[in-house]
Structure 1
Amino acid sequence: MANLLEQIQKQQKNGTLFYAEQSMSVNDLVEKALKIRQRHPQLRGKKVALTDRHLVDFLVSLIAFDGFCSAMYLCASNVTIPLVDGLQVWPLNGQDVSNSQMLPLVSNTRWYLATSGTTGEPKWFAHTLISLTAETKHSARLQKLCWALMYQACRFAGLQVVLQALLSGADLVDATGGEPLSQLALMQKNKVTAVSATPSLWRQLLMTKQLPDLALSHITLGGEIVDQTLLDQLARLFPQAKVRHIYASTEAGVGFVVSDGKAGFPLSWLHNSELPLALKISSEHHLLVKPNKQAKVPSNITTDELGFMDTQDKVQVVADRVVFLGRATGAINVGGNKVYPEKVEQVLLTIADVSQARVYAKNNPLMGQLVVADIVLFDNSELAKLDIASMRRQVTHMCKNQLQRFEIPTKITVVEHMAHNVNGKLNRQ
């Protein structure tokens, strides 16, 4: 397979990157990448760490080093550069051409991505351009798209957007910074037609009431559980758009894509050999996955005797659907009963006035933990005149109809906003 630079050069039409009130053609990015190869032949065949810097510099580095270096470690600003023998940190602080002997070009550069590290020291997992672009599509219609980048480019979800734009010839708008209103203003200015974001980020955009001003034809969700309420909202606002939710992870890469407008995935997929991943459910009701024959589970991931890895995602079969309940590692222990915050949040989000919800544990001397929740309303201007008691009764009534008693929040707090981490996910710390 051709490296990233060669694949971009084969495009009949290359897109434009829009960033910080400026723009640059992808062809110019390629020219900059070629100059890096010429000026730094000593990096050929070596390992490099790419620090999270300006997006232009980061993209140029990706283009320059795929197929040129043996490995690239993509380091976000909050990730410590790993201690790897022979690792060169890019940029090289002014160092230029070396007279050292050049190694051969690399046919399959390893792209190392770090997990978020929210539950401990980040772990590194290797991918290749082939595995990272397993779901990348190419067509004349896709060349006309303009993608908004809502994630850090060095993270798995961000790379998916970047590579889709670069390899399809589409335009790309850097919308990673700022508040939702400024992000939407930037998208409107550059006529964005495709957005990939977490459900939490989509809810923030919906709260601005300006999302319908975009002419979106491609909508992608991932990184968190996608609930039916949000899918229905986006489908109503953009009836002509293609709405997809993607199950993926830094460890395993892209798993599968659901595009039928329903939360979860079809039960029949547990026996579908055509998917990128083989799927099954464990005795603990965890989703287990195994890559197809063309891919391998990374060596630092534990698997069962058949090669399946435990995603730690708790699932439930409902009729002909497999739905996600939450992370097994994030359960709240209420008197010995496990409560999955994401499951409770999905119920809260079905309430018409609730835009965002966060469910978490509160320590209790008798029960061990209790379930409590914060909610954000669609219209914060209503907060001052809100009948809190009435809202709580409405929430409790909804929960009683859909949850077991120990799952019902014992306290509901109405807040003005929710905190999110660098990956666009709800901050549960």
Structure 2
Amino acid sequence: MNNTWWFQRFTDYAERAFLVEADTVYNYSALTARIEDYHAEFKQSGVQAGDVVALHGDYTLNGIAALFALFGLQAIVAPITSTSQAEITLREEAAQAKWRVQARKDLLTQQLAETTDPHDYVVRLKQSQHPGLILFSSGSTGTPKAMIHDVENLLAPFAHKRARRLCILIFLLYDHIGGLNTLFNGMATGAKIVVPPSRNADVVAQAIETHKVKLLPASPTFLNLFLMSGAVERHDLSSLRFITYGTEPMPDSLLKRIKEQLPDTALIQTFGTSETGITQTISRSSESTLIKFDDPNTEYKIVEGELWMRSKSQILGYLNHEMSRFTADGWFITGDLVEEAQDGFLKIVGRREELINVGGEKVTPSEVESVLLELPEIADCLVYGEENAITGHNVAAKIVPNGEHEPRKLKRLIKQHCRQLLSPYKVPVRIVLVDENIFGERFKKLRAKQS
């Protein structure tokens, strides 16, 4: 383990601040000491190279140290953040985990019941003496797809990163490719990583103010909440130099409002999938949702308006699912629909599975949502398709009002606004006013099974 490039890098950063957890600041020397302690403890417990370990943790010193100690043992790690026993069971079974490690507070290692013969991908990693990482699809129903990465491939792009003096607030979850990418990038460059006590807008804003955070990675859904909550006005966010956003399409109207509220902050769109990893991108500007892929490790092409990708850091495969989204020559069919600009930039407009077919005309929810979010009376919205016996589908919208409004007047205002800016078939036929969240714990819109 001490011969790995990443452990040497952490050692070089010894006296730098590494992690702000609650009211405690740990430096990189505390991280390397904890990694070495856990490495010895795991070996004593019997964890071996090629073993699959379900790691229950978060962005704590313990959780991060356990992750890298297991990488150092060449184990295959399945990070799990869920507290639902049913979901935990599904994920541990999908990964065929041999060990369960609790690393949120005190370290607890438990051997699970013997599983069936290991999957071919697990055998391949063990033979290559490479650690592995298992991530899961975020589907809310059924068994999640277990995707297995070769960690050597996944971490390779970070080995060439230069040291920087950067303070990053980590937002996306510990078992999410975007969250792990932020963690790996920050650790490779010797960044100070701030873990907010919660993902409440004011708590995040206070953390930015207190620790002079320069980089905030987040989803468009959270950034909308950030603005609507008023947290931007209540806190000093002058240290914030960059906001990166991804995981779902950014409405143009929302991007405009963010830039108006934070004019000195650069807004950068990111892109990645759990299957192919995070791809380096260039945003045309902070006011534009157009991006260009600029990554020597990733190829892409557009097939009938859909983005296909192939990368050096993509998964070996699924442990529990067929590979129909991969072509025979290794292209991953992302399901993301794109529009091409003349200068090589692209616009991610939505998911193929979310397209609304209105009598043969295709509607992307993000286009309608961008128009709806122009209205100050709307705090948030979710556009989806409803079945229609004549046209196939109608456009429908769930609306979270901003303040108190008379329902009939608000619905009439929404219809008038949409008719002015959208083709008739794109105007929501049904409008439902709701006061509950229309997003999940990952701060992404919940589009599945709307009714």
Counterpart of 2:270 in 1: which secondary structure?
Answer: strand
Q: Which of 23, 45, 51 is 1:47 aligned to?
A: 51
Aligned CA-pair RMSD: 3.2
Which residue in the other structure is 1:100 paired with?
Answer: none
Which residue in the other structure is 1:323 paired with?
Answer: 347
Which residue in the other structure is 1:68 paired with?
Answer: 73
**2 CA distance for matches of 1:107 and 1:422?**
35
Which residue in the other structure is 2:63 paired with?
Answer: 58
Matched, 1:279 2:300: yes
Normalised by the length of structure 1, the TM-score is 0.83
Matched, 1:117 2:122: no
CA contact 2:76–2:132 (8 Å) conserved in 1: yes
- Supply the AA of the counterpart residue of 2:27: S
CA contact 1:148–1:195 (8 Å) conserved in 2: yes
| Mapping for residues 19-168 of structure 1, pairs under 5 Å | 19-41=21-43, 42-56=46-60, 57-77=62-82, 78-79=87-88, 80-82=91-93, 87-91=98-102, 93=108, 108-118=130-140, 120-127=142-149, 128-132=151-155, 134=157, 138-139=161-162, 142-143=164-165, 145-168=166-189
**2 CA distance for matches of 1:356 and 1:134?**
37
Identity of aligned residues (%): 21
Deviations 1:107-144, CA, capped at 9 Å, x for gaps:
6311221111236421122332542463688445x32x
CA contact 1:290–1:297 (8 Å) conserved in 2: no
Counterpart of 1:134 in 2: which secondary structure?
Answer: helix
| Mapping for residues 234-313 of structure 1, pairs under 5 Å | 234-261=258-285, 262-266=288-292, 275-283=296-304, 285-291=305-311, 294-295=312-313, 298-300=316-318, 301=323, 302-304=325-327, 306-313=329-336
Matched, 1:396 2:435: no
Report deviation, 1:3: 4.8
Deviations 1:211-270, CA, capped at 9 Å, x for gaps:
25212012110101123333333333333333211110111111242332221335xx6x
Which residue in the other structure is 2:120 paired with?
Answer: none
Q: Where does structure 2 lack aligned partners over 5 or more consecutive residues?
A: 112-125
CA contact 2:277–2:314 (8 Å) conserved in 1: no
CA contact 1:66–1:109 (8 Å) conserved in 2: yes
Matched, 1:339 2:350: no
Which residue in the other structure is 2:426 paired with?
Answer: 407
Which residue in the other structure is 2:444 paired with?
Answer: 425
CA contact 1:364–1:370 (8 Å) conserved in 2: yes
Report deviation, 1:394: 4.5
**1 CA distance for matches of 2:296 and 2:309?**
11
Which residue in the other structure is 2:16 paired with?
Answer: 14
Report deviation, 1:25: 2.7
Report deviation, 1:8: 1.4
CA contact 1:374–1:415 (8 Å) conserved in 2: yes
Counterpart of 2:249 in 1: which secondary structure?
Answer: coil
CA contact 2:251–2:369 (8 Å) conserved in 1: no
CA contact 2:79–2:174 (8 Å) conserved in 1: no
Counterpart of 1:251 in 2: which secondary structure?
Answer: coil
Report deviation, 1:44: 3.8
**2 CA distance for matches of 1:318 and 1:84?**
41
Counterpart of 2:253 in 1: which secondary structure?
Answer: helix
Q: Which of 219, 240, 249 is 1:198 aligned to?
A: 219
Q: Where does structure 1 lack aligned partners over 5 or more consecutive residues?
A: 97-103
Which residue in the other structure is 2:242 paired with?
Answer: 218
CA contact 1:11–1:167 (8 Å) conserved in 2: no
CA contact 1:50–1:58 (8 Å) conserved in 2: no
| C-alpha distance 407-192 of structure 1, shift in aligned 2 (>3 A) | same
Counterpart of 1:369 in 2: which secondary structure?
Answer: strand
Normalised by the length of structure 2, the TM-score is 0.79
The alignment of Structure 1 onto Structure 2 pairs a total of residues equal to: 407
CA contact 1:200–1:426 (8 Å) conserved in 2: yes
Counterpart of 1:82 in 2: which secondary structure?
Answer: helix
| C-alpha distance 318-349 of structure 1, shift in aligned 2 (>3 A) | farther
Deviates more, 1:26-35 or 1:83-92: 83-92
Which residue in the other structure is 1:101 paired with?
Answer: none
Deviations 1:10-53, CA, capped at 9 Å, x for gaps:
33653232223333333212211101222332324142424333
**2 CA distance for matches of 1:188 and 1:221?**
20
**2 CA distance for matches of 1:419 and 1:65?**
37
Counterpart of 2:157 in 1: which secondary structure?
Answer: coil
